[in-house]
């Protein structure tokens, strides 16, 4: 195929824009924050499950404390009633019964107060555990929100770059002869389609051409379209090629 050196040089701009398009497309589909955001989502799920367990334990202790407080109130009411009856009783046997029950009630209240103190201490630890877990989740949420906002901005920026590169590519492609552009596009489906030959090296694949291959390139006319023997890209020759 024949193409002017100027048209062949335009292929380098196309190749550069195509590389930009690939990078921008990858960036908008998978921003750098995405992996960490996914990690945070999984971590938050784990923390939330643990928080549910801790909330359940705290709620159980709160219910137990209320039950003990209710039992203490019942004991106090009975003690007040028995003390009142004892004070007004004139029957010694009946009075002994009240006194015996008051002793039992005092023991019962002491036991309940010990249990109440134990539950209150356990409840304090449970509430601290819940607060600790909620703090961890809040940190995860804050980082996730920040990274999500950064990710959205990264996607927007990449989309802008993609759209600009697409417009630039269309403008350059419009100036490339149809046959040359079709060849370029066919090669682009499998590899970098064009590369500068710089100091005996194909910049599309970074391979150094052998002496035999370089000789073949040297013998080609300036308007001959030459392909890299290693990767198949169109070799664009300039004064930097060292031929």
User: Could you tell me if residue 87 is inside a domain?
Assistant: yes
Q: Is 38 helix (H, G, I), strand (E, B) or coil?
A: helix
What distance in Å separates the CA atoms of residue 230 and residue 210, rounded to the nearest whole number?
10
Residue 136 inside a domain? The answer is yes
Tell whether 209 and 232 lie within a shared domain.
yes
The domain boundary residue, chosen from 125, 156, 187? 156
* Domain end marker among 156, 182, 204: 156
127 belongs to a structural domain:
yes
Checking if the pLDDT of 93 tops 90, the result is no
Residue 228 CA from chain centroid, whole number: 42
Q: What letter does residue 220 receive in the DSSP assignment?
A: S
Instruction: Assess contact for 227 and 9: CB atoms under 8 A.
Output: no
Give the whole-angstrom CA distance, residue 105 versus residue 78. Answer: 8
| In a shared domain, residues 92 and 9 | no
CATH (domain of 184): 1.10.287.1490
CB 177 within 8 A of CB 168: no
Are residues 20 and 42 located together in one domain of the fold?
no
- On whether both 119 and 204 belong to a single domain, the answer is no
Tell me which residue range forms the domain holding 85.
30-156
Mean pLDDT, range 20-49, rounded to an integer: 95
Domain end call among 156, 182, 212: 156
pLDDT tens column, 119-178? 999 999 999 999 999 999 999 999 999 999 999 999 999 999 999 999 999 999 999 999
8 burial level (CB within 10 Å; 0-12, 13-18, 19+) = buried
């Amino acid at each position: 195929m024949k193409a002017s050196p100027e048209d062949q040089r335009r292929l380098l701009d196309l190749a550069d824009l195509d590389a930009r398009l690939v990078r921008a497309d990858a960036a908008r589909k998978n921003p750098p924050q995405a992996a960490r955001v996914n990690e945070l989502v999984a971590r938050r799920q784990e923390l939330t499950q643990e928080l549910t367990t801790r909330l359940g334990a705290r709620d159980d202790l709160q219910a137990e404390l209320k039950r003990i407080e209710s039992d203490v109130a019942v004991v106090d009411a009975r003690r007040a009633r028995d003390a009142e009856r004892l004070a007004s009783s004139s029957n010694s046997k009946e009075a002994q019964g009240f006194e015996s029950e008051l002793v039992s009630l005092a023991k019962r209240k002491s036991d309940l107060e010990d249990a109440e103190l134990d539950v209150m201490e356990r409840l304090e630890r449970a509430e601290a555990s819940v607060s600790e877990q909620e703090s961890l989740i809040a940190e995860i949420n804050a980082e996730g929100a920040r990274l999500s906002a950064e990710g959205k901005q990264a996607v927007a920026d990449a989309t802008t770059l993609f759209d600009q590169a697409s417009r630039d590519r269309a403008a350059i492609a419009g100036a490339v002869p149809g046959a040359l552009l079709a060849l370029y596009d066919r090669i682009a489906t499998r590899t970098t389609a064009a590369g500068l030959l710089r100091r005996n090296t194909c910049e599309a694949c970074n391979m150094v051409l052998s002496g035999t291959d370089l000789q073949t390139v040297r013998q080609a006319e300036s308007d001959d379209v030459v392909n890299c023997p290693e990767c198949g890209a169109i070799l664009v020759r300039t004064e930097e090629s060292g031929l």
